[in-house]
A and B are shown apart, each in its own frame.
Chain A
């Protein structure tokens, strides 16, 4: 992905491109056409997002959530499991799932990426991305609050034994009962 952005940056010299690239491996591509750093502190990261017109990133939830919460269009490009960049191909699933969210531009293949960047540069692609707020859904938070408030300590349990869950006790679709504590 970095190589593609580097080539695009060379082809679009009037565009100010900035990268945050961990460059962890010896084979990682080092760009020559745009400025980058290997690490950004959270406040710098947020500031860079704020100042950008659009973002290009792998399909990681940190990038996606930050972009959506700051209403910045983001092009997402999946990492590949085969390249040991990732434990599985869940990033491809992420791109598919988020493809229709306003503000997210999905890409799957190398060739998609420069085209997507050209489109955003031309201002063609998007209504402005939605603000999603800074908290999880109320239902999830309420459920967790309740779990916390009603939690009771149970003394030492065996970390190698499996729990029986309430839904198992009801026998809903259970095939074999789990061993009880």
Chain B
């Protein structure tokens, strides 16, 4: 029985988080894709690449960046991310972090979506703070370093490099 195309929400902060998320893009090739990040800078590249590959043009949303020292910004970010998740209703939410992705994974529970956290390859000795906090909330919880994988902890499926 052919399954319908899945809706994927791929969300990451700008910088290294985004670069790593985008390196995994062939995993959602052919899906309905919504990208969410904290800068408009990558919109054109994302659209150009989809066109070049003959794929459906993804949507692209910009949310504020926020870290744990910026409480008000975090609230603003949370509200925007929840709104996007409820509006776009993805089947799968995948993130490499940081706070935007964490919020999306938590919010995804409201719509019963499958959630995937891929901890940044930058976190080579221990998981990131968000990566630790997402335990018990992400269906798939991954580290990119084999020696950080645990039976009761994040799994290792490979890396973005």
Contact = CB atoms under 8 A, between A and B. Distances in A.
A135 to B, nearest CB: 6
A141 B139 contact: no
B27 A145 contact: yes
Interface string A29-47: 0000000000001110000
A140 B122 contact: no
A136 interface: yes
B80 interface: no
Interface of B is mostly: loop
B109 interface: yes
B111 A143 contact: no
Contact of B109 (A88, A96, A159): A159
A163 interface: yes
Interface in B37-84: 41-42, 45, 67-69
Contacts of A152: 114
Interface size class of A (residues with CB under 8 A): 35 or more
A80 interface: no
Contacts of B107: 159
B139 A135 contact: no
A159 B110 contact: yes
A68 interface: yes
Contacts of B112: 153-157
9 contacts: A61-B19, A134-B23, A136-B20, A136-B24, A137-B160, A144-B24, A148-B6, A154-B112, A173-B152
Given A138-B158, A144-B94, 17 more contacts: A60-B16, A61-B16, A61-B122, A87-B68, A90-B123, A90-B125, A90-B126, A91-B122, A136-B161, A140-B118, A140-B158, A141-B24, A145-B28, A148-B27, A151-B114, A167-B152, A175-B152
Interface of A: 41-43, 59-66, 68, 84, 87-88, 90-91, 93-94, 96-97, 132, 134-145, 147-149, 151-159, 162-163, 165, 167-168, 172-175, 178
Interface of B: 3, 6, 8, 15-20, 23-28, 31, 41-42, 45, 67-69, 91-92, 94, 106-107, 109-114, 116, 118, 120-126, 128-129, 136-142, 144-145, 150-152, 155, 157-161
